[in-house]
Each structure stands twice: as C-alpha cells, then as structure tokens.
Amino acid sequence: HGPKLHRPDWSHESREFSMHLLGGRHDHDLLVIANMQDARQRFELPTPSAGKRWHRFVDTALPSPLDAAEDAAMAFLGNVRSYDVGPRTVVVLVGR
C-alpha cells in the first residue's frame, strides 16, 4: 500500500509505503508503515483480521520511551481508519 489502501506507488519519486502481514487465526497481524517524506502523511489503515484491533507498537516520531511499547503497554487505537505518520517516521501497528 501507499498512503491510500491498495494503491502502492512504485515510482522513483515515491517515499512512502505500508505493508500488511496477516497473522492468521492464532497470530497477530502486523502493519509496517514507512514515511520518508519531509512532511506528515495520513495513511489509510486496512482492516485487521477478524476479531482483531490495531494497537501501536512503534512510532519513531514519538519521544522516548513512548516510541516503542512492550506488549502490555501497546496503545489501543480504537476503530480508526487512518493514522497520521510523522516525517521520516516508521510505525508498526499490531492487530490483536
């Protein structure tokens, strides 16, 4: 994906992408987002697997120690459909 679901930009000028890894019934889903632009980008989020919800595991735009969370401390994102990603930032969301 790019900032828009199912619309990757493979051009030479592209500086952002996201990748959704389905965990199946017993494992967590992962969504990896990379924004290498100099500006904030809003990324549309895919729907996680059935019964799962997105939680923020890593957001490198946040100050330490909030930039990475341990399992029990992952922030629940609710029913959001998009996520604002800071400039030159990597975000990892976990569907659980």
Q: What is the DSSP string of the chain?
A: --SSTT----STT--EEEEEE--TTTS-EEEEEEE-SSS-EEEEPPPPSTT--EEEEEETTSPTTTTB--GGGPEE--S-SEEEE-TTEEEEEEE-
Q: What is the pLDDT along the chain (96 residues), one digit of tens a residue?
A: 999 999 988 888 899 999 999 988 889 999 999 999 999 999 999 999 989 999 999 999 999 998 999 888 999 999 899 999 999 999 999 999
Residue 51 neighbours by CB under 8 Å, 6+ apart: none
Task: Read off the pTM.
Answer: 0.92
